Amino acid sequence: MEAVVGNKKRSKGGLAISKGRFVLGVTIPLLLYEALGIFILGWAFALIFFDYSSGRVGGPFLGLGGSNPFVGLGHFVEMFSGTSVKASLFRMSLKNTLIFAFAILPLNLVVTLSLAYLLESIGNRFKALYRTIYFLPVLTSSVGVALIWMSMYDPQAGWINAIIRFFGGTPVSWLSDPRAGFLGVPVAMWAVILAYLWQDYGYNMVIFIAALQNIPQELKDAALIDGASPWQTFTRITIPLIQPTLLFVCVMTMLSSFQVFDIIQVMTNGDPGNKTQVLMLDIYKNAFRYQNLGWAAAESFVLFLIVMGVTIFQMRVLRTDWEY
Amino acid sequence: MKKLLFVLVLASLLITACGGGAAEPAAESPAADAPASGEKTMVRMWAHTNNSFIAGYEALIAAYEAGHPDVDIQLEHFDYELYLQTLQTSMPAGEEADIIQLFGTWTSQYHERLAPVPANVMILEQARETFYAAPIGGYEVDGVLYGFPQEFNMEYGGVLVNKTKFEAAGLTYPPEWKTMDDVLADAKALAQKDEAGMQSVAGFHFTAADPTWASFLAGIKQRGGDYWNADRTGFTFNTPEARAQLQWMMDAVNAGVVDPVVFNDSTNFVIDAFFQGKVGIGYIGTWAIAEGQTNFPDFADEWDYVYLPPTQGEPVFVADSGWGLTVSPNSKHQDVAWDFVKFVTADPKNAAQWNIASGTIPAMPAVAQAPEIAEAMPWVPKALDSLPYGEYLGTMPDRDLVMYEIIYPHILNALQGVETVDQALEAIDAEANSTFE
């Protein structure tokens, strides 16, 4: 009997050791990875307070100080009240980013929700086909999308101008005319917004389709019996019931819009006259072209604060405290 | 268990934090780092990816290794944007290659992280005698030499000309331009519009970024002005000479030689547009020749590369150095690295071989005048009279920012009708001077 108990104890101890080893084996790599992430974030945060350039040796500790001097909050003061070229470029980039993000969000919602509603109303036979077609641009690389739209926008050989010429209109230099605009926004910005929207809408559409499919049919039937029109059903039944999804889509769309980079870099690189230069592009240029890593880190921090603020606002406005 | 995890996390944080520090330059003790008998000394070299440049390097590496069987030079190259990022992340970490290809104007930004040229390799006075003033100027910072140029990057004055279009327009070919008015007269005859009124062929495409700043600065110099103040601590762009040059450019646009909305740096870039038959005269550096031949092999029109007359007076111009080679202070084999750099850049025969392979203008007068250069690159002899007039652009806090974010955008704005001449010059002057702050 004692021998059996002893074996049980030994085997239990062995299991505990194995568990411990397993936990360590799984946790240590993760912790090391996290530590690296924390170091990178900490490093970026430290750079905010220095006029740091990778071309200068600087002080003995991580190159901070010396020829990479401490500037405190100087970058932020310069950004919002300075007269230097990098300050004016920052302000213009911030304005362009806000225009881009606040134009994309409503357009994206209108297009994706309408399409999702439309697809939900057609027969199952074609549903999968259309869903695939609409989702394909999401799978395409941004560079490829940019090149396709650039060829369409080409002032001389693009088919958009070809159609305008066919109807006797005046062709437009879509991506390089700083004078042309619509609703106070340069036409080049609208051109980029349209390309981005085309690439991105399939993602939200699929999410909305899933949300629409989860709405109980009884609720719609009840509304129909009560004499609600299709529009009333949509606005008073569908929209409130997909509000959690709407919140998710709004937050994710805003996040990705504020971080837009590749499609703009390829299509315009910020031209004409920096009218399409967004914050991510300005951060990239400052960090890797002009070596102003401290300034770029400060810009990134501002972008982080803006995105966080907008996200919190959206979550407060669109949050729900019920489930169905 | 918790304590163990805490210790591990703390240790990993410390390790990662310490790992990010700049490495100390290697102590110069060749004996300590000398390879064991029979082993090769391995030297790493970095360059940006340009197929003709790389082909030139590879041939010279093979030649050097044949003469030095104990040396193994490993060439690594990166796409341009990736190369910039690699330099900026590796140099602070002390992880860069032994030999680094740099553009001359970058040297002033990186010189704290570069090894000065040892006196036994070449002293500054010798370098000034060996190379043209413009290219060597980029490698000199505060009287210290940090490397050697391989090319004379001349963005000023050279143009691609489309012979087929000249003949179709009934113009004299090759062009016999005495003044810039002659150029504009030909350009007006070459320009074409489509049925909707949009320019389909630019007579004289000078509105890309490099030609714009190069012709603007050269025009200021040729009119007797300067864009530097007396002690070179600030810029003077709001001057009568600058105003006259910008007005000349405005007049050329108003004459219809180019529509800067349709032809600029991002739309219809001069090389692409020229080799697609959309340009009669295209203002661009000689580097465009090799690129055009490579990227547009099916272009059927006959063409050539010629030089423009000065706006007025002597053909004085400024140039921003050119690509060249430098050595890392962290290299354990600096002696071998410098020996190779000198072999590639300062030996006239080898330098000529690289210039021919890369299609670039030589940085040394002795090489530029060599018969093999004239035979391989007939456009170089045409530039020989101009090259001695080239001055180095000058050491700026941030050359790219001044050229591409200040001068070019404001001049283009003026040419596109968004700003007046005065507004553009005032903005350029104020913004360029703010880069000194």
Q: CA of A41: which chain B residue's CA is closest?
A: B17
pLDDT at B13: 38
* A274 interfacial to chain B (CB closer than 8 Å): yes
Contact B9 A86 (CB under 8 A): no
- Give the total number of structural domains in chain A: 1
Q: At residue A2, does pLDDT exceed 70?
A: no
- CB < 8 Å to B85, chain A: 288
CATH of the domain at A189: 1.10.3720.10
Least confident of A9-18, A294-303, B68-77, B378-387: A9-18
CA A205 → CA A63, A115, A194, A289, B365, distances in Å?
A: 48, 7, 16, 37, 65
Q: CA of A203, closest CA in chain B: separation in Å?
A: 30
pLDDT at B36: 56
Q: Is residue B7 included in any domain, yes or no? A: no
Q: Are strands B199-205 and B317-319 parallel, antiparallel or unpaired?
A: unpaired
- CB < 8 Å to B196, chain A: 164-165, 169-171
Q: Is residue B178 included in any domain, yes or no? A: yes
The 10s digit of each residue's pLDDT in B283-336 is 999 888 888 888 899 999 999 999 999 999 899 999 989 999 999 999 999 999
Q: At residue B398, does pLDDT exceed 90?
A: no
Q: Is residue A135 included in any domain, yes or no? A: yes
Local structure of B268: helix, strand or coil: coil
The pLDDT-based confidence of B279 (bands split at 50, 70, 90) is: very high
pLDDT at B292: 87
Amino acid identity at B263 = F
CATH of the domain at B61: 3.40.190.10
Average pLDDT, chain A: 89
- Give the total number of structural domains in chain B: 2
* B90 interfacial to chain A (CB closer than 8 Å): no
Give me the phi and psi of B358, to 5 degrees please.
Answer: -95, -10
Contact A171 B12 (CB under 8 A): no
The 10s digit of each residue's pLDDT in B78-104 is 999 899 989 988 998 889 999 999 999
Q: Which candidate from A27, A57, A155 shows the least CB-CB separation from B112? A: A57
CB B40, CB B71: distance < 8 Å:
yes
Q: At residue B392, does pLDDT exceed 50?
A: yes
Residues forming a β-bridge with B307: B158
Contact A289 B434 (CB under 8 A): no
Q: At residue B15, does pLDDT exceed 50?
A: no
Amino acid identity at A262 = D
Residues forming a β-bridge with B323: B103
Q: What is the ipTM of this complex?
A: 0.78
The 10s digit of each residue's pLDDT in A227-272 is 989 889 888 889 999 988 999 999 999 999 999 999 999 999 998 9
CB B363, CB B149: distance < 8 Å:
yes
Alpha carbon A230 to its chain centroid, in Å, reads 33
B234 and B375 assigned to the same domain:
no
Q: Is residue B33 included in any domain, yes or no? A: no
Q: CA of A279, closest CA in chain B: separation in Å?
A: 15
Least confident of A58-62, A185-189, B117-121, B380-384: A58-62
Contact A271 B200 (CB under 8 A): no
Q: Is residue A123 included in any domain, yes or no? A: yes
pLDDT at B31: 39
B114 and B229 assigned to the same domain:
no
Residues making up chain A, counted from first to last = 324
% pLDDT > 90, chain A: 58
Q: Is residue B189 included in any domain, yes or no? A: yes
Site of tokens 């070229």 = A85
Q: Which candidate from A67, A85, A175 shows the least CB-CB separation from B405? A: A85
Local structure of B344: helix, strand or coil: helix
Section B156-161 average pLDDT: 94
Q: Is residue B27 included in any domain, yes or no? A: no
Q: Is residue B29 included in any domain, yes or no? A: no
CA atoms within 13 A on the CB side of B162: 31
Q: CA of B8: which chain A residue's CA is closest?
A: A28
Site of tokens 């180095």 = B392
Q: At residue B39, does pLDDT exceed 70?
A: yes
CB B206, CB B258: distance < 8 Å:
yes
With both helix axes pointing from N to C terminus, report the angle between A85-121 and A293-318 in degrees, rounded to the nearest 10. 40
Q: CA A160 to CA A163: how far, in whole Å?
A: 5
Q: CA of A36, closest CA in chain B: separation in Å?
A: 6
B358 and B258 assigned to the same domain:
no
- Output b/e per residue, B397-425; b: 16+ Cβ within 10 A: ebbbbbbbbbbbbbbbbbbbebbebeebb
3-state secondary structure chain A: CHHHHHHHHHHHHHHHHHHHHHHHHHHHHHHHHHHHHHHHHHHHHHHCCECCCCCCCCCCCCCCECCECECCCHHHHHHHHCCCHHHHHHHHHHHHHHHHHHHHHHHHHHHHHHHHHHHHHCCHHHHHHHHHHHHHHHHCCHHHHHHHHHHHHCCCCCHHHHHHHHCCCCCCCCCCCCCCEECCEEHHHHHHHHHHHHHHHHHHHHHHHHHHHCCCHHHHHHHHHCCCCHHHHHHHHHHHHCHHHHHHHHHHHHHHHHCCCHHHHHHCCCCCCCCCCCHHHHHHHHHHHCCCHHHHHHHHHHHHHHHHHHHHHHHHHHCCCCCC
Q: Is residue A275 included in any domain, yes or no? A: yes
CA B327 → CA A194, B107, B111, B157, B166, distances in Å?
A: 48, 11, 10, 32, 47
Contact A290 B265 (CB under 8 A): no
pLDDT at A61: 86
CB A55, CB B112: distance < 8 Å:
yes
Q: CA B288 to CA B359: how far, in whole Å?
A: 9
Contact B267 A169 (CB under 8 A): no
CB B406, CB B414: distance < 8 Å:
no
Local structure of B257: helix, strand or coil: coil
Q: CA B339 to CA B328: how far, in whole Å?
A: 13
B148 and B274 assigned to the same domain:
no
pLDDT at B67: 96
- CB < 8 Å to A53, chain B: 109
pLDDT at A324: 65
From A293, A271, A280, select the one nearest B405 (Cα to Cα). A271
B83 and B192 assigned to the same domain:
no
Q: Is residue A66 included in any domain, yes or no? A: no
pLDDT at B367: 97
pLDDT at B9: 42
B357 and B218 assigned to the same domain:
no
B288 and B352 assigned to the same domain:
no
Return the structure tokens found at A144: 């490829």
pLDDT at A11: 59
pLDDT at B27: 38
pLDDT at B25: 42
Section A58-77 average pLDDT: 91
pLDDT at B22: 39
B149 and B162 assigned to the same domain:
no
Section B375-383 average pLDDT: 91
pLDDT at A128: 83
Average pLDDT, chain B: 90
Least confident of A62-66, A197-201, A294-298, B202-206: A62-66
Q: Which candidate from B398, B405, B430 shows the least CB-CB separation from A89? A: B405
B109 and B178 assigned to the same domain:
no
Q: At residue A156, does pLDDT exceed 60?
A: yes
pLDDT at A16: 84
Q: CA B301 to CA B432: how far, in whole Å?
A: 41
CB B324, CB B104: distance < 8 Å:
yes
Q: Is residue A31 included in any domain, yes or no? A: no
pLDDT at B38: 67
Q: At residue A300, does pLDDT exceed 70?
A: yes
Q: Is residue A212 included in any domain, yes or no? A: yes
B143 and B178 assigned to the same domain:
no
- CB < 8 Å to B110, chain A: 55
Q: Are strands B199-205 and B192-193 parallel, antiparallel or unpaired?
A: antiparallel
Q: At residue B4, does pLDDT exceed 90?
A: no
Q: CA A94 to CA B310: how far, in whole Å?
A: 42
Q: CA of B13: which chain A residue's CA is closest?
A: A35
Q: Are strands B41-48 and B71-78 parallel, antiparallel or unpaired?
A: parallel
- CB < 8 Å to A155, chain B: 198, 262, 267-268
Q: Is residue A70 included in any domain, yes or no? A: no
pLDDT at A9: 52
Q: At residue B255, does pLDDT exceed 60?
A: yes
pLDDT at B81: 86
Q: Is residue A48 included in any domain, yes or no? A: no
CB A95, CB A103: distance < 8 Å:
no
The pLDDT-based confidence of A288 (bands split at 50, 70, 90) is: confident
B278 and B364 assigned to the same domain:
no
Segments forming the whole domain that contains residue B62: 42-153+321-385
The 10s digit of each residue's pLDDT in B122-138 is 999 999 999 999 999 99
Q: At residue B32, does pLDDT exceed 60?
A: no
Contact B266 A176 (CB under 8 A): yes
Contact B413 A268 (CB under 8 A): no
Q: CA of B269: which chain A residue's CA is closest?
A: A176
% pLDDT > 70, chain A: 95
CA A166 → CA A151, A154, A160, A239, B199, distances in Å?
A: 18, 16, 10, 42, 17
Least confident of A146-160, A255-269, B27-41, B53-67: B27-41
Residues forming a β-bridge with A208: none
Section A194-223 average pLDDT: 91
pLDDT at A3: 47
pLDDT at B437: 77
Q: CA of B106, closest CA in chain A: separation in Å?
A: 9
Using alpha carbons only, give the angle B166, B170, B176 rounded to the nearest 5 degrees.
Answer: 60
Q: CA A154 to CA A160: how far, in whole Å?
A: 8
Q: CA of B94: which chain A residue's CA is closest?
A: A57
The pLDDT-based confidence of B37 (bands split at 50, 70, 90) is: low
- CB < 8 Å to B409, chain A: 273-274
Q: Is residue B203 included in any domain, yes or no? A: yes
Q: Is residue B200 included in any domain, yes or no? A: yes
Q: At residue B71, does pLDDT exceed 60?
A: yes
B125 and B66 assigned to the same domain:
yes
The 10s digit of each residue's pLDDT in A90-137 is 999 999 999 999 999 999 999 999 999 888 888 777 888 888 888 899
Segments forming the whole domain that contains residue A189: 83-318
